[in-house]
């Protein structure tokens, strides 16, 4: 059996382009907390993969230093593309996307497309480490879509309840269905997206 820790980044800035947004001061504290929390977990992490987006990389850097492991960028762990411009009613659009996985906004991805991309990336990194535990730094919606692929009951309200940061572990027992454990981040006040 091997395991994958899915790690949602710390509280991020809303300034700048999607791929370049960094962390708020609170988010840097979250990153340090995650390094401490993940360092002590079993199974021990043997490799670190990450979205190319800056806020995810900044979140994973303290863990990389603590474990003396490089951060390997996996482009397809980037956050789901919502649209190519501003969205008038973002909450309503998100709800519709979770209700209809094929719905998409102009220039964006559907949940189905983003889920296929995320699962293909997960399969690739797992194939490179067939018996090791991996850390994957990514984003809320993409992590939610990975969890939905394993637990179809995971939906909009579950996604909405996920704080920044957050940790889920997926175990892949040989010959059995994957199992999800919400490791979480006890003892810190995480930030939640409103809607």
Q: Which two tokens stand for residue 41?
A: 């977990």
Rounded Cα distance between 13 and 23, Å, is 5
Between 112 and 2, residue with greater pLDDT: 112
Report all structural domains of the chain as residue ranges with CATH numbers, in order of start.
2-46+55-132+141-189 (3.40.50.1240)
Looking at the chain, the number of H-run helices and the number of E-run strands are 6, 8
Residues 20-79 pLDDT 10s: 898 999 999 999 999 999 998 889 999 999 999 999 999 999 999 999 999 999 999 999
pLDDT of residue 22: 86
**Residue 17 CA, distance from chain mean position:** 19
Q: What is the pTM of this model?
A: 0.95
CA angle 162, 178, 39 (to 5 degrees): 60
- The proportion of the chain whose per-residue pLDDT surpasses 70, expressed as a percent, equals 96
CA distance 114 to 101: 10
* Residue 190 clears pLDDT 80, i.e. is over it: no
If you average pLDDT over every residue of the chain, what do you get? 93
């Amino acid at each position: 059996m091997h395991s994958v820790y899915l790690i949602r980044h710390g509280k991020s800035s809303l300034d700048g382009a999607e791929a370049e947004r960094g962390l708020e001061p609170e988010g840097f504290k979250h990153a340090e907390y995650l390094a401490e929390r993940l360092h002590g977990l079993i199974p021990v992490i043997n490799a670190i993969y990450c979205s190319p987006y800056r806020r995810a990389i900044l979140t994973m850097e303290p863990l990389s230093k603590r474990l003396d492991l490089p951060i390997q960028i996996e482009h397809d762990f980037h956050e789901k593309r919502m649209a190519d411009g501003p969205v008038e009613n973002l909450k309503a659009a998100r709800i519709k996307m979770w209700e209809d996985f094929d719905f998409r906004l102009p220039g964006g991805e559907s949940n189905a497309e983003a889920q296929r991309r995320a699962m293909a990336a997960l399969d690739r990194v797992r194939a490179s480490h067939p018996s090791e535990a991996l850390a994957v730094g990514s984003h809320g919606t993409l992590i939610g879509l990975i969890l939905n692929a394993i637990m179809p009951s995971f939906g909009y309200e579950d996604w909405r309840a996920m704080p920044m940061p957050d940790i889920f572990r997926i175990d892949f027992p040989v010959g059995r269905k994957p199992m999800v454990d919400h490791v979480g981040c006890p003892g810190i006040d995480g930030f939640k997206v409103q809607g």
